[in-house]
Structure 1
Amino acid sequence: MKITIVAGARPNFIKIAPIIKAIEKKQSEGATLSFRLVHTGQHYDKNLSDTFFEELNIPHPNANLEVKSGSQAQQTAAIMIAFEQELLENPCDLVLVVGDVNSTMACTIVAKKLNVKVTHVEAGIRSGDMTMPEEINRIVTDSITDYFFTTSTLAGENLLKYGAEPSAIHFVGNVMIDTLYQNLNRISSPYFWNEYQLESGNYIILTLHRPSNVDEENSLIDLLKGIDKMVGDKKVIFPIHPRTKAILGEQNLELKNIITVEPQGYLNFMYLIKNSFAVITDSGGISEETTVLGIPCFTLRTTTERPETIEIGTNHLIGTSITNLEKVFGEFLQNGQRKAGIPELWDGKASERIIDILLSKM
């Protein structure tokens, strides 16, 4: 079986790393299995892409389509044009896509129009928010995928509602957590750890990048000032996303507690998460890792495609209001973290299950 694995953005790299390891393990056991890694270039900042290949020991991509940025339509079209040529020149039996970025949807469409089977890792998750480009990517991808690998039973139920064949749905667990477990003994403190006198539990991690939080400059400033005031004597480490940085420009907001740093590589960022007091974010993926690590997470969104991180894990869905955040965070400070656990099959073996199932379909 020849598999083309597609990666396009930071979360993709974290998800493909354990899948490649699982393939290499099967190859060492004599399985007739090969892969070609295609990087679409959707994220091209070194701190958002190249670093992850280096840190997670992912092989150098066989091809980089170098599509870079643009509007949703421009980027999707560029990926489709480049990936079509890639597949024509390098035929395969299966295209494997992960997550919900533009590369996921675009490469799925191209593969299916060339009559190549597609498997979607992290299939079936839904936020119900059609203003999110990722939600559209998920729905389109899952509408034409051949094999679905899910992180939860709820994701499988979502797929059934959309008409997926039950036999094509496989609940395998979470490959993000595979990567976390495989690298916990390798995480390390960032260079600024001592400079800012960071210690386990004396700081909060903040990440912001979603349009609902960062696109309107005054609202973003109000949010940052509110968080700065809310955290008391805790430092706030803010790895600033290029999108957020561009909107803030060179303004001096005179924030007392928030310390802005550049985007972090995986090993440094997981060290920061693991040793933090809490996390405030508008990311979906981070809430998965905080759940496994037992770190309280406050998600600045009105919807989530990962409800298990709230029902079972440490995540709190806040909305985008600083008032709501202050209320829920205040209750947390007063009452402590609620009892939480780890979702079913988030055990570090999802990638092995995926490759075993794919081999069974050869």
Structure 2
Amino acid sequence: MNEIFAPVQLGPITLRNRVIKAATFEGRTPDALVTEELIAFHREVAAGGVGMTTVAYCAVAPGGRTDRHQIWMRPEAVAGLRKLTDAVHAEGAAVSAQIGHAGPVANAASNRLPALSPSPMFNPLGMRATKVPGASEIRDLVAAHANAALLAEQAGFDAVEIHFGHNYLVSSFLSPLLNRRKDGYGGSPANRARLAREIACAVKEAVGDRIAVTAKLNMEDGIRGGLTVPESLQVAAWLEADGALDALELTAGSSLLNPMLLFHGDAPRRAFAKVLPGPARWGFRLMGRAFLKEYPYQEAYLLERARQFRRELAMPLILLGGITNQDTMDLAMAEGFDFVAMGRALLREPNLLHRIQSDAATRSMCVHCNECMPTIYTGTRCVYRPDQPRQPITLTLR
């Protein structure tokens, strides 16, 4: 059996293979609770052969959502989440909950709660200033992550993925550009990494070895003054030394300032402009080219950065970015990575893994147009699959 498709251990759990469906906003929770459409989305991917699928995004607090339609972890959400995990398990796959706080990426207007950031800044989604949490609020945020993990365990999840990337709250604390604090959570790299380490340890302490604990970590923000690879390597080394994580998924880019560094391929500026409300649409037309930069697509496009982490770390690593065929998966294994994560290719073809297992020469039908990106507000889908449902969600930016 090919190494990629052999059973493998992830912390305390066993996956049927090394392929993980990466967290991609589903846009299928209009009332911030699980829907049949969300269950069907993950059941389809599970039936397609992945080892584990990731539910995104499960905020640890109502103000930590990118908009008010997203799930936030509370007792009322558990029954629906249990129904989802049961459906995924019935297809033979494991399931992870991505937990975190969106921080400055949260839509304060939609949530009707202030967005948080380590230092004062303007929240572009909510069109208002952010709130800077004090020491007691930070303690509450750490506890909220631990509580969210416990609720995920109660709901039947096999793992949680803590969001430390894309300038969400923890990532913004890691960023020298966004974190200008003068207390124990700002200044030196060690201080800026403190929140990430405290959250990882609190989550691990809460769930022990009953479920796996992973984190999605930015290798770099891709913006001037932001987190760089050398600093991220140090953060990763500290996280490894703490021993709270079973694996790291390596990512890049800023949802605030440079999202295309994560995606690569075409920049869907016109499609994004169409879904934005009037004032934001005009602003996007003026600034869209600077916000949505273009990075040519190639297979394993984050590999060069990720190699540096593989050389420095002993812990399991998940390679993300441009994983669409068996050749690339085999390359990841040869480079020493333990798992691969797939996103857009599975939106196009949820059964891609079965096709690859049947024929190793199979190539994904994804064309890397990234037109799926603007659909996150109305039901994330490949635009070449019009059969997928759209949710009646209105994006609010002001």
TM-score by length of 1: 0.34
Q: Write 1 or 2 for the structure with the bigger share of helix.
A: 1
Which has more radius of gyration?
1
TM-score by length of 2: 0.32
